[in-house]
Structure 1
Amino acid sequence: MRARDLHPLCCLPVDCPGGWCAAAGDRSSSPPPNHPATVAGVLHKWTNIGKGWRPRWFAILRGGLLAYSKIRRRSAGAAASPGLSADGGPRLIGPAGYGAAAEDRPIGFLHLKISSFRESKSDDKRFYIITPTKTLQLRTDSPKDRVAWIEALVSARRESSPSEGLLCDQNDASFSTDRLRNRMHAEGLGEEVIKDCEQIVHSEFSQYYTQMKQRCEEYLSFLGSLPQQLEVLNEQDTTRSIRPECSCSGHGKCSESSNTETSDDVGYQELDELSDEDDYIFCDTRQSFSDSASSPDLRMTCSNSSNDVHQVDHEFVESISSKGDNECLLLPSKRRTKLPEPVEKEKGVSLWSMIKDNVGKDLTRVCLPVYFNEPISSLQKCFEDLEYSHLLDRAYEYGLKGNSVMRILCVAAFAVSGYASSDGRPCKPFNPLLGETYEADYPENGIRFFSEKVSHHPMVMACHCEGRGWRFWGESNVKSKFWGQTIQLDPVGVLTLEFDDGEIFKWSKVTTAINNLIIGKLYCHHHGTMSISGNRQHSCKLTFKQQSFLERNPRQVQGFVEDTDGTKVATLTGKWDESMYCAVTNDKSEATLLWEKNKPPANPTRYNLSSFAITLNELTPKLKEKLPPTDSRLRPDQRHLENGEYDKANSEKLRLETRQRMARKMQDNGWKPRWFDRDTEDGTFHFTGGYWEAREQRRWDGCRDIFGELSDNRASAVLPVVDSSSM
């Protein structure tokens, strides 16, 4: 018998009588006749931000393959696709291909045995096919069609056998020794010697074949376990997941990117980008496979970011695991995912009486019931802007690699991401008391944050945050106007970001308007121009488009990055409540996803807090022992509101605001913030340091009990120089 060439990885014969040998995405190949289609139809596939959704002919082939092709039009009466039909044609799902059929050559295929499927929760027509190397985002014409496709895919995956056609019989894998025999005859060797040589060759080949077959079985076993592992990784609800860096200059591409009709070609290392609230996170393909091959329990973990708002970078996990078991115990416990159940039933208030009495007044002087508040303070709201701090981690890494354009693009995406949590938030945060503080220590994110109210009139809050290779600080002073139907908030202050390599970026926030206070659904929008200035090569300008009644595509953000010569080197586009994309000018690729909003929590409340915001006011017994008496978590009215004790919350709010009226006198008599100093030149506040050291020692010298009862004697002590006539 003639020798048969073997695939070096899994003993797959090159002539492939039992399998389709084309590499993933090979456009030159077509499905063999012994792999007819069982199910087929038209699905809309997300290509890229430039081309959007494109119809493609999808067919489930016998043997557990899913092929997809571009569509060519034909007669409306035709139903099946040439080259993909047998035994009367495949079962069609949905409309009969709009009179369409597949091109002769498929542009891609997937092995269903190593695939998993996910339905979108935000769109009942959308679903995903996820493999270790790529992800397809697909959309049907109706919810019924989506159910039919999912059932067909699951059934095909269950019926397919990964070993079908891959392992050949050893007898079929034998080879010819005619040339060896003829050569040995020519040398004059006897028949007995020739037979001994043939036996030795056969024995060696048998051992080689056995080893290759064993390797093939191990490989197939690994492939068979991938769907279950993907199920676990995508559904796992943990507080430690990995946020991979999606780099344009990294190992592979982050999106299908081409201006030609070949943009559906998916290479082995490419990932199809998602554009949905279902925010999946995928690890680098080569890293994932190498880790999987070397570690059967899959040490590297990926999870759905919407269920896990505390992403942990891969390097952080590795550094933690290398420090030993004792230090690993220092990691925080799992953070909460919902607010406590309310003790009382909330009572509504009359908006008309509130509006009539407060038109044209400064909101900072208006006393509102807790019905209009959410159970977090403005200090905590400042920290909420750092929910997507991983963007700054990525920016730092890009800078180390010399990619300054991607660094400022990530900084711009971070500046926009802070507005995502404002969507659908009908209530305002608590105004902090003078001297009130808030700390946030999130080692799973690699950041720790501190803020303090440093001035009462005007109300100014200063903050400082330390991350992996960067520092972020700024102050917030909002000028507000109440016009009956609308509230306008104009931020005053500069935010500063400094990387460890010395590069600095500064920007200010844009105007926020809250509309429909009287009639209609309450909503907010942000508008204006945000300029991000850098001290080196690049700067960025972002425009938040003002919303109008005729705007069909609201909440848009557009911008560009320019160098010191004024040349545009990159553009940005997206929505502040959804996602941001970028495109580098000298790059032929399409726009790349920079940032996407996390999914809402599984347990929503009337405050519409994000999963990240739900964790901000959490107070555990161990944490309470470490906090200073000025921390927002200890504020009684805010705590009562979170617990649903509304009567107590209102009475405490009235008590604290009565006490807060003395803060103006405290400030006039030389009161100074505890942890921030004011710059005499520009008037900005800078963190003096020492807070985390004091926290470690539990020494809070100079921190007043701002939430306790205040008697006349204590008032005199707190306010050392107060004119009795002013009382």
Structure 2
Amino acid sequence: MNENLVKECEQIMLSEFSEMHGQVKLLHEERTNLLDALRQLEAANLEVGASGKHEFSSLGRGKYSECSTTASSDGKQEFEDVSEEDEPSFHDTKEFFNEPNIGSESNLAISGHTDIKRRTKLPDPAEKEKGVSLWSMIKDNVGKDLTRVCLPVYFNEPISSLQKCFEDLEYSYLLDRAYEHGKSGNGLLRALNVAAFAVSGYASTEGRHCKPFNPLLGETYEADFPEKGIRFFSEKVSHHPTVIACHCEGKGWKFWGDTNLRSKFWGRSIQVEPVGVLTLEFDDGEVFQWSKVTSTIYNIILGKLYCDHHGVMQIRGNRQYSCTLKFKEQSILERNPHQVNGFVEDVAGQKAATIFGKWDDSLYYVAGDGINKSKVSDPASNASLLWKRTKPPPNVTRYNLTSFAITLNELTPGLQEILPPTDSRLRPDQRHLENGEYEKANLEKQRLERRQRMSRQLQESGWRPRWFERQGESDTFKYTGGYWEARGHRNWDDCPDIFGEFTEELADAA
């Protein structure tokens, strides 16, 4: 009796398994057919975009007014007209796109490529870390600017704000693609890739809850990445308010800007509002400008700590196209967080493409006003992939650094000998934290904070940045040039030893 029952159960299981196997095989065939159709559709879209381009010159190459992260009245009305039901649901569609179709930097033709082997993980910590309560440190600073609050090194990640700026260039291949599309006459695909680049910089913030080191006045950071075809430089140009200026050169484009972070602590959350304009200029004269949206860290006291970005980003172009992107604020009942949607429009105000996706995962587009007018359950089924986030590294630490961020503070062979004494990689407290030497890191941080208190006096007494200068009476800083030439000659005579020992003579001089 028992044997018959067992055999009957086995037969049932085999039958169900056979049926499931057939369903999986059928789904695989449908997926293959869908991918083929998407490739054909994308090729057709590219041909239509290339043949249907228009020449708009009404904007010219005039100067820009500062971009705002607050939507205009027209832009705000545009988003308010879209109901919750109209918003795209794309959370489960990402599996239908395979990564080899993405134009990553590995597919680019790099000129002057240098084979630099970069690290894939941080050093193993030398000590066991002791936890500290964040609430106990900031409970007396509700409503205040947290950039002026001194926190123990436990709350820092082993990179500086200068290096954090360079993280926005992780997906610089999007700008290379944008340059090539514009060069071939496809202004729409150029604008779409610029929009994807502006969104991609937020991907690295997912799961990152530690604060980057606040640079000292005059601190700098360089990043020479020949394998990506870019070189980047940044400097802290003001102490109060804290302003960081940066400049990056790529293949056919330049990117620069300055930013001042205004942060407030509201009891259960910390809100960070970037102030400043980012500028992207291609070699053919086309320019795009935008400002970043607001970022908020939630559940400071209780619950799971998480970061969200929200607001409207206006990307203004001086030729054919501009772009408006809305970062939707996450709510308690939100089943699909981190959503971004928007559109690219021409100078006549006509929508040329619709963009949607998630800032921590991927971004797609469809031609025209595809999503708002066609209420389909799966808008991504006829969409083209613009950008997809790189997979996280296998060796995860509590800092949750991306594979790219892990390389930013690395001293590759021969690099230390040619760096200026102001480079962030030479900052001792940051280096000790990276090595897991927490006691030394705290002592060095306290020592450097004493030096930091001298910065306001230095600034008030006429101190000026070494590599950037203020543009007229505005608050905008622009790179003056000369850094890479000085690096070539190892001429750092004008660069102070800002990380050196603090002495009473220095205090008196300040």
Q: Give the TM-score, by structure 1 length.
A: 0.57
CA displacement at 1:546 relative to structure 2: 1.1
What SS class does the counterpart of residue 444 from structure 1 fall into? coil
Match of 1:4 in 2: none
Distance 1:95 1:447, change over 3 A: closer
Match of 1:335 in 2: 118
CA displacement at 1:352 relative to structure 2: 3.6
Instruction: Report matched runs for 1:447-526 at 5 Å.
Output: 447-526=230-309
Contact kept in structure 1, 2:351 and 2:369, CA below 8 Å: no
Distance 1:518 1:654, change over 3 A: same
CA displacement at 1:517 relative to structure 2: 0.7
Q: Deviations over 1:134-189 (max 9, x none)?
A: 7899xxxxxxxxxxxxxxxxxxxxxxxxxxxxxxxxxxxxxxxxxxxxxxxxxxxx
Candidates 469, 482, 498, aligned match of 1:677:
469
- After TM superposition, the structure 1 stretch with the greater mean CA deviation from structure 2, 355-364 or 439-448, is 355-364
Match of 1:643 in 2: 435
Distance 2:412 2:502 in 1: 27
Distance 1:526 1:472 in 2: 22
What SS class does the counterpart of residue 414 from structure 2 fall into? helix
Distance 1:520 1:707, change over 3 A: same
Distance 2:262 2:469 in 1: 22
Contact kept in structure 1, 2:102 and 2:388, CA below 8 Å: no
Contact kept in structure 2, 1:396 and 1:499, CA below 8 Å: yes
Match of 1:634 in 2: 426
User: Residue 557 of structure 1 aligns to which amino acid in structure 2?
Assistant: V
User: Residue 526 of structure 1 aligns to which amino acid in structure 2?
Assistant: H
Contact kept in structure 2, 1:279 and 1:596, CA below 8 Å: no
Contact kept in structure 2, 1:394 and 1:407, CA below 8 Å: yes
Distance 2:295 2:237 in 1: 23
User: Residue 383 of structure 2 aligns to which amino acid in structure 1?
Assistant: A
Distance 1:490 1:534 in 2: 23
Matched, 1:429 2:212: yes
Contact kept in structure 2, 1:277 and 1:599, CA below 8 Å: no
What SS class does the counterpart of residue 281 from structure 1 fall into? helix
What SS class does the counterpart of residue 193 from structure 2 fall into? helix
What SS class does the counterpart of residue 502 from structure 1 fall into? coil
Distance 2:94 2:271 in 1: 31
Match of 2:339 in 1: 556
Matched, 1:661 2:453: yes
Which of the two has higher C-alpha Rg? 1
Distance 2:169 2:102 in 1: 23
Identity %: 65
User: Residue 259 of structure 2 aligns to which amino acid in structure 1?
Assistant: S
Candidates 76, 98, 109, aligned match of 1:315:
109
What SS class does the counterpart of residue 345 from structure 2 fall into? strand
Match of 1:295 in 2: none
What SS class does the counterpart of residue 622 from structure 1 fall into? coil
CA displacement at 1:626 relative to structure 2: 1.0
CA displacement at 1:354 relative to structure 2: 1.3
Matched, 1:414 2:414: no
Distance 1:135 1:431, change over 3 A: farther
Instruction: Report matched runs for 1:591-602 at 5 Å.
Output: 591-602=383-394
| Uncovered stretches (5+) of structure 2, i.e. residues with no partner | 1-11, 50-91, 375-380
CA displacement at 1:357 relative to structure 2: 2.6
Candidates 334, 346, 350, aligned match of 2:129:
346
Match of 2:20 in 1: 94
Distance 1:477 1:248 in 2: 43
Match of 1:578 in 2: 361
Distance 1:429 1:359, change over 3 A: same
CA displacement at 1:547 relative to structure 2: 1.0
Contact kept in structure 2, 1:434 and 1:456, CA below 8 Å: yes
Q: Deviations over 1:609-658 (max 9, x none)?
A: 00000000001341001110000000000000000000000010011011
Match of 2:348 in 1: 565
What SS class does the counterpart of residue 472 from structure 1 fall into? strand
Distance 1:496 1:514 in 2: 27
Match of 1:542 in 2: 325
Candidates 435, 438, 448, aligned match of 2:221:
438
Distance 2:284 2:203 in 1: 29
Distance 1:583 1:551 in 2: 24
Instruction: Report matched runs for 1:351-430 at 5 Å.
Output: 351-430=134-213
More helix by share: 2
CA displacement at 1:467 relative to structure 2: 0.4
Match of 1:52 in 2: none
Contact kept in structure 2, 1:633 and 1:639, CA below 8 Å: yes
Contact kept in structure 1, 2:35 and 2:97, CA below 8 Å: no
Distance 1:681 1:517 in 2: 39
Q: Give the TM-score, by structure 2 length.
A: 0.81
Contact kept in structure 1, 2:220 and 2:233, CA below 8 Å: yes
Q: Deviations over 1:27-50 (max 9, x none)?
A: xxxxxxxxxxxxxxxxxxxxxxxx
Match of 1:704 in 2: 496
Distance 1:91 1:523, change over 3 A: closer
CA displacement at 1:94 relative to structure 2: 1.8
Distance 2:333 2:16 in 1: 46
Match of 1:275 in 2: 94
Distance 1:367 1:406, change over 3 A: same
Distance 2:265 2:100 in 1: 42
User: Residue 442 of structure 1 aligns to which amino acid in structure 2?
Assistant: F
Distance 2:212 2:390 in 1: 21
Distance 2:450 2:254 in 1: 37
Distance 1:569 1:249, change over 3 A: closer
CA displacement at 1:279 relative to structure 2: 6.7
CA displacement at 1:551 relative to structure 2: 1.4
Distance 1:332 1:95 in 2: 46
Runs of 4+ in 1 over 4 A off after TM superposition: 95-98, 106-109, 133-137, 246-253, 276-279, 586-589
CA displacement at 1:360 relative to structure 2: 2.4
CA displacement at 1:362 relative to structure 2: 1.5
Contact kept in structure 2, 1:375 and 1:642, CA below 8 Å: yes
User: Residue 434 of structure 1 aligns to which amino acid in structure 2?
Assistant: L
